[in-house]
């Protein structure tokens, strides 16, 4: 399987969620067993030698490949969620969006200073959500932090928001 096949498995939806936006739907990658396996293999190969102990997935599409990757890497999985969704004590980070602010939370005891963390989400656009997630994880002082996306929208320059973490994407569009 090739990068081209992975690329072709993404559904493009014009004018979603608002007019003028082209939405890249990765759920079509997940419904095809061969594509899902290729995606899992590709992600594993990217991170297999980095000593990852925790994979952190961002709600909600980060909850799909995040646990799969955690299992492959023999690492734990940690969810980052919207406020009010996690049952134990949390820490939180707020960030600016196009039309206001949003907040994400993580359990206070999810990451330790001994952890090497891989943050995963489906898409890098402007980087706001992932930057907030990265800041949240860094509050826990892990040994190292890596950031991964299935897709990077290169023209939006989201990588520029990150100063001190390695960022990789499976596909760049």
Give the active site residues.
61, 98
Residue 70 to residues 9, 158, 169: CA-CA distances in angstroms?
23, 25, 17
Q: What count of other Cβ atoms lies within 10 Å of the Cβ of residue 19?
A: 7
Count Cβ neighbours within 10 Å for each residue of 102-131 and write b for 16 or more, e otherwise: eebbbbeebbeeebbbbbbbbbbbbbbbbb
């Amino acid at each position: 399987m090739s990068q081209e096949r992975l690329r072709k498995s993404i559904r493009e939806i014009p004018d979603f969620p608002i007019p003028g936006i082209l939405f890249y739907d990765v759920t079509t990658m997940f419904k095809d067993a061969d594509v899902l396996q290729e995606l899992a293999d590709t992600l594993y190969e990217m991170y297999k030698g980095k000593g990852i102990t925790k994979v952190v997935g961002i709600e909600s599409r980060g909850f799909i490949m995040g646990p799969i990757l955690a299992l492959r890497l023999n690492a734990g999985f940690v969810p980052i969620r919207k406020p009010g969704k996690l049952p134990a004590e949390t820490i939180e980070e707020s960030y600016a969006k196009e039309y206001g602010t949003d907040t994400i939370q993580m359990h206070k005891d999810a990451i330790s200073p001994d952890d090497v963390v891989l943050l995963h989400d489906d898409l890098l656009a402007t980087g706001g959500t992932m930057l907030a997630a990265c800041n949240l994880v860094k509050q826990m002082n892990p040994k190292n932090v890596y950031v991964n996306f299935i897709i990077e929208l290169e023209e939006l320059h989201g990588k520029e928001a990150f100063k001190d973490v390695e960022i990789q994407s499976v596909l760049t569009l």
